[in-house]
Structure 1
Amino acid sequence: MSKTPHQPRLTPKFCFDTTALRDFLRLSRGTVDDTIAQNLNALVTPGIQPFDPQSTASRAPRLSHKRPIEAEACQHFKSKVLFPSWQSRSDVLNYCASVATSPDPNDPEHLLRETEDLKARERLVDERLDPYSGRYFPREARTEALAMLIRNERMVESIIRQRTWGLVGERCENEGVEFANALNAWRKGEIGADLR
Structure 2
Amino acid sequence: MSQPSSRPELTPRFCFNQTALRDFLRLSRSTIDDSITQNLNALLTPSTTAFNPTSTSTRSVTPPSSSRAIPAQTCTSFKHNVLFPSWASRSDVLDYCAGVATSPDPDDPDSVLRQIEDEKVRERVVDERLDPYSGRYFPREARTESLAMLMRNERMVEKVVRARTGSVVGERCGEGGGLEGEFDEWRRAQGSGRR
User: Could you state the TM-score of these two structures normalised by the residue count of structure 1?
Assistant: 0.90
Q: Specify the alignment match of 1:35 in structure 2.
A: 35
Structure 1 contact 68–171 (Cα < 8 Å) conserved: yes
Matched, 1:20 2:20: yes
Cα deviation 1:31-90 (Å, max 9, x = unaligned): 100110111001111113553434423688983796110111100000000000001000
Q: Specify the alignment match of 1:93 in structure 2.
A: 94
Q: Specify the alignment match of 2:103 in structure 1.
A: 102
Q: Which runs of 5+ in 1 are unaligned?
A: none
Structure 2 contact 28–86 (Cα < 8 Å) conserved: yes
Cα deviation 1:132-190 (Å, max 9, x = unaligned): 011000000000000000000000000000001100011112232x2221111111229
Q: Specify the alignment match of 2:168 in structure 1.
A: 167
Structure 1 contact 66–170 (Cα < 8 Å) conserved: no
Question: Whole-Å Cα distance in 2 between the matches of residues 47 and 150 of structure 1?
Answer: 45
Question: Whole-Å Cα distance in 1 between the matches of residues 40 and 77 of structure 2?
Answer: 11
Structure 1 contact 41–65 (Cα < 8 Å) conserved: no
Question: Whole-Å Cα distance in 2 between the matches of residues 99 and 135 of structure 1?
Answer: 31
Question: Whole-Å Cα distance in 1 between the matches of residues 148 and 37 of structure 2?
Answer: 32
Q: Which runs of 5+ in 2 are unaligned?
A: none
Question: Whole-Å Cα distance in 1 between the matches of residues 180 and 94 of structure 2?
Answer: 16
Q: Specify the alignment match of 1:7 in structure 2.
A: 7
Q: What number of residue pairs does the alignment pair up?
A: 190
Q: Specify the alignment match of 1:68 in structure 2.
A: 69
Structure 2 contact 4–81 (Cα < 8 Å) conserved: no
Counterpart secondary structure, 2:33: coil
Query: What is the identity, as a one-letter code, of the residue corresponding to 2:37?
Result: A
Counterpart secondary structure, 1:31: helix
Comparing 42-51 with 158-167, greater Cα deviation is found at 42-51
- Aligned sequence identity (%): 62
1:129 to partner: Cα distance: 0.1
Q: Specify the alignment match of 1:45 in structure 2.
A: 45
Structure 1 contact 14–20 (Cα < 8 Å) conserved: yes
1:127 to partner: Cα distance: 0.7
Comparing 121-130 with 58-67, greater Cα deviation is found at 58-67
Q: Specify the alignment match of 1:57 in structure 2.
A: 57
The RMSD of aligned alpha carbons is: 2.2
